Structure 1
Amino acid sequence: MSNVTPAPDELVHYEVAEGVATITLDSPHNRNALSQQLIVELFAHLEAADGDADVRVVVLQATGRVFCSGADLSEAASGGMEEGAKVLVEMQRQIVSLRKPVVTRLQGAVRAGGIGLVAASDIVVAADEASFALTEVKLGLTPAVISLTVLPRLTSRAAALTFLTGEAFTAAQAVDMGLVTRAVPADELDAAVAGVVASLVTGSPQGLRETKRLLATDLLERITARGDEMATLSATLFASDEAREAMLAFLSRKKS
């Protein structure tokens, strides 16, 4: 077992045991939003897992009631999002191109950009109570960057419904749409994830690596072909007056 003692201000934790690297988002103060610090730490831990010959499987999970609330709107409202959009493109690329399968454990809500992490993952197990929403449309935005991985997972009808309404949908609906692999009662979530991981670690490193690469081919081609375009679109919309007003109004409601 390899445990890394977390730094006092660390937002993402990393642990390796029995061939499994567990990466935990732990930023409850902003509902595990994709802040600059969280993204930097998540990148580093994914790279560590990819380069560790003892790791065969990566589990991505989070603490608290929310898995990931998407972009950190307090950062987005106060500055440009050009670099942030490009980083989110690369975050999805990193998960998709990782040489080890990534299993995401969803214990709670996922919103907006957080759904990009879900879509980039290979296998997703969610608690029945988990909920999902692509809320960008309500803020004058569009799910541009995460569409790189989300659209290939969804049926076209599901994409239209979820992207255009911005309304929440359930874990069971996410399974039907193709976004989530399996939904289980909350008290069975850990056992369900452990069962998937136990099956994966029986695979040989070469078998897992090459099968992951085979499965990732189309997604990686899409990210390469359209990543810059989607990052530019995202940054342009975040910088618009309409989106800035909507984000500031949202943040004001949260504080009141």
Structure 2
Amino acid sequence: MSEAVLVTVVGHVATISLNRAQVHNAFDDALIADLTAALLGVEHNPAVRVVVLTGIGASFSAGADLNWMRGMAQASEADNRTDSLRLATLMRTLNFLSKPTIARVNGSAYGGGVGLVACCDVAIGVDGAKFSLSEVKLGLVPAVISPYVIAAIGVRQARRLFVSGEVFDAAIAARIGLLHETVAADQLDEAVDRCVHFLGKGGPLAQDEAKRLALRIGGMTRESAERIDEENAALIARLRVSAEGQHGLGAFLDKRAPDWVR
């Protein structure tokens, strides 16, 4: 395991920190692999009752790493599909973790970072954080994270944010359901600790079943998520190698506007 993710366990709480502050905790192959492994590790640690996911530095997660995106832009459709399935496995692992999860959103979250927030049971963010699902600006869609984001904010809000790619603030994130609570930066730890306190009062088996119950009644099971992940991985792979996706990715990497901008 690299140092892209740090895990600390204090008492019954495991804190998993994205540790690529120099690139705003952007996703690459190492971070995806390390975060998946970290989640599986705390899942099987009987001492851990609550999991807190956060970022180190100014941002929670900026989404896809530029070098990772450059590699995917040059990869085949089959390789893109395999890559997308790795990210899908990460999101699914977090979403269905048997233990309560808290997103400690210490800063802005974009793309896949929004997906991580949506996959957690509780999301508490600083009031200065910004959010965006900006994939359409690259000729792509937020395919892999879409089931979790839609479950968090609803179809109506997702339709707007998926097609506009606009940046929105923490107040809007709370209003639409992506965040449960927003606080000043100097109050974030206190708010997370308060949530951990209440989560520590529940029976661990009951909490596992309660999460499964909410997801199942909401129409999401691990089996259904796996099927959707296969479809969405194929979708994003197809779009990445399409003419529009190639042009959009190339324009983004070259720091120029794509031809469709008006």
Do these two structures clear the TM 0.5 threshold for a shared fold by scoring above it? yes
SS at match of 1:183: strand
**Displacement of 1:247 after TM fit?**
2.2
Residue 85 (structure 2) aligns with = 86
CA RMSD of aligned residues (A): 1.7
Q: How does 1:93-108 map onto structure 2 within 5 Å?
A: 93-108=92-107
Residue 224 (structure 1) aligns with = 226
**Displacement of 1:198 after TM fit?**
1.1
| Aligned residue identity for 1:215 | A
**Displacement of 1:153 after TM fit?**
1.5
Residue 3 (structure 1) aligns with = none
Contact 1:89 1:223 in 2 (8 A): no
Structure 1 segments unaligned to the other structure (5+ residues): 1-6
**Displacement of 1:206 after TM fit?**
1.5
| Aligned residue identity for 2:176 | M
SS at match of 1:137: helix
The more displaced of 206-215 and 38-47 is 206-215
Question: Could you tell me which of 22, 25, 50 is aligned with 1:29?
Answer: 22
Q: Deviations over 1:3-27 (max 9, x none)?
A: xxxx8x5110001111001000010
Q: How does 1:156-235 map onto structure 2 within 5 Å?
A: 156-217=155-216, 218-220=219-221, 222-235=224-237
**Displacement of 1:145 after TM fit?**
1.1
Residue 46 (structure 2) aligns with = 53
**Displacement of 1:72 after TM fit?**
2.3
**Displacement of 1:212 after TM fit?**
2.0
Residue 116 (structure 2) aligns with = 117
Residue 242 (structure 1) aligns with = 244
**Displacement of 1:222 after TM fit?**
4.3
Q: How does 1:116-155 map onto structure 2 within 5 Å?
A: 116-155=115-154
Label 1:215 to 1:69 Cα distance change in 2 as closer, same or farther (>3 A): same
| Aligned residue identity for 1:240 | S
**What's the TM-score once normalised by structure 1's chain length?**
0.91
Contact 1:96 1:219 in 2 (8 A): no
| Aligned residue identity for 1:75 | W
Label 1:169 to 1:95 Cα distance change in 2 as closer, same or farther (>3 A): same
SS at match of 1:16: strand
1:12 matched to 2:5 = yes
Q: Within 2, Cα distance between the matches of 1:133 and 1:199? A: 30
| Aligned residue identity for 1:219 | M
Q: Within 1, Cα distance between the matches of 2:215 and 2:25? A: 26
Q: Deviations over 1:81-134 (max 9, x none)?
A: 212211121112101211101100111111112111111111000000011000
Contact 1:56 1:201 in 2 (8 A): yes
Q: Within 2, Cα distance between the matches of 1:222 and 1:95? A: 15
Question: Could you tell me which of 50, 69, 72 is aligned with 2:65?
Answer: 72
**What's the TM-score once normalised by structure 2's chain length?**
0.89
Q: Within 2, Cα distance between the matches of 1:76 and 1:241? A: 16
Label 1:160 to 1:224 Cα distance change in 2 as closer, same or farther (>3 A): same
